[in-house]
Structure 1
Amino acid sequence: MEVDILDFVEECRHLAKQALGKHAGEPASGGFARWKHVVIHCFRREESHSFRETENRLEYMTALLEVLDLEEENIPDFTTLNKSFDRFKMWVWRALLRASAQQHPQSGHIALDSTFFDRGHASAYYRTV
């Protein structure tokens, strides 16, 4: 399924501002608002780019710069993007996950495990008892 990247970035912008709430406009590392960093990271992951490639792509995509409210001379350096990705607290990513999950209809059946706990041993124990 092809994703229109401009629609994707606009949706990410909406979700990031919703998820971050009052913290959305606060500057993260590099002096840019947090929502801009989150949207750039979403764009980077969707397109499977490295940090350096992301900076280069943003230079040539003026429509994305308009959505991000950036100018060509103010594009974050790839090192800034790398550091901001590592500095974001887990609550930012959880809030983004929560906001994006609320966009979909609820079926009543949900299973999400992000603990990376190996449950194979426990399952095998109860199966033999």
Structure 2
Amino acid sequence: MQALPKSRLLQFVEQAMHLARRSVARYSSKFSKRRYTLHQHIVLLCLKVRKNTTYRTLLDELIEMPRIRSAVDLTELPSPSTLCKAFNQLDMTVWRVLLNLSVTLLPTNGVVGIDASGFDRSHASKHYTKRTKLTIQQLKVTLLVDTRANAILDLHVTTTRKHDSKIAPSLIKRNTSEVAILLGDKGYDDQNVRALAREESIRPLIKHREFASLHRAWNVRMDADLYGQRCQNETVNSRLKRKYGAFVRSRHWWKQFRELVVRCLTHNIDKAL
């Protein structure tokens, strides 16, 4: 019988396992029970996000996925609480290292857009929230996206209404080697942002707020074709919400931040396939 080709799901798992082996040790410490490895935990957590499901549903589906279990070297399935505890224990720095490694899988060109979007902190019916006049607080997620491969280079998450111009400097400083041209809308029109970008040898292509005729003239003279690539940010924001959900499942803010980083990591691996 002819061997079946690899599915995209199997390729995703193999790529995630490859990144996990490059980024973390096999076990968390010498006192570990060594029943499951950190690599297995990372892959299963990424798989949960990719399938946009719960721990219990994921483990139930894995019973019927022998090729996936084989790729992760799973001889027995962990309990849902085991995966939940693993997610709590894996530090944000581990996920950021994985995110940085995932960028190397994609062909980037240094033309990077910056934009923010909102994610609900609770999954509630729109009809219910409208009838009860309930307001669901959102997370503000700012993404740094390479326009060639739609790779997410970095992200910033906040629960406050922090202005875009105050968020951009930290993202620029963390990614100076990856950014050659920075594309931004009028929300990032700030002299400090422009000055910082030029100090780091980055060309800021940011729309000016039109307070005077000179500002309008600068906007007209802007390279329209290059600036038009900023729409890739909207594409990535839409893709994240359509594929992985427009809300976060975690209840604690620090777990919500990690969940969004895992989504960005999952997006990059998916794009690499």
> Unpaired segments of 5 or more residues in structure 2?
1-6, 113-143, 145-153, 167-186, 191-208, 212-273
Q: Which residue of 1 aligns with 2:16?
A: 12
Identity of aligned residues (%): 26
Return the TM-score normalized by structure 2: 0.40
CA apart distance, 1:27:
4.6
**Alpha-carbon RMSD:** 2.6
Return the TM-score normalized by structure 1: 0.80
Quick one: higher RCO (CA 8 Å, sep 6+), 1 or 2?
Answer: 1
> Unpaired segments of 5 or more residues in structure 1?
none
Larger relative strand fraction: 2
CA apart distance, 1:95:
1.0
Of 32, 38, 41, the match for 2:42: 38
Could you list the per-position Cα deviations for residues 24-76 of structure 1 after superposition, in whole angstroms to 9, with x for gaps in the alignment? Answer: x11587731101000001111101110111111111111011001111xx211
Query: How many residues are treated as equivalent by the alignment?
Result: 122
Larger relative helix fraction: 1
- 2: distance between equivalents of 1:53 and 1:6? 18
Residue 26 of structure 1 aligns with an amino acid whose one-letter code is Y
Classify 1:63/1:106 alpha carbon distance in 2 versus 1 (closer, same or farther; 3 Å): same
Residue 17 of structure 1 aligns with an amino acid whose one-letter code is R
Larger-Rg structure: 2
- 2: distance between equivalents of 1:98 and 1:124? 24
After TM superposition, the runs of 4+ consecutive aligned structure 1 residues lying more than 6 A away are none
Q: Which residue of 1 aligns with 2:53?
A: 49
110-119 or 45-54, larger mean C-alpha shift: 110-119
Q: Which residue of 2 aligns with 1:101?
A: 103
Q: Is the 8 A contact 1:19 1:98 kept in 2?
A: no
Q: Specify the SS of the correspondent of 1:13.
A: helix
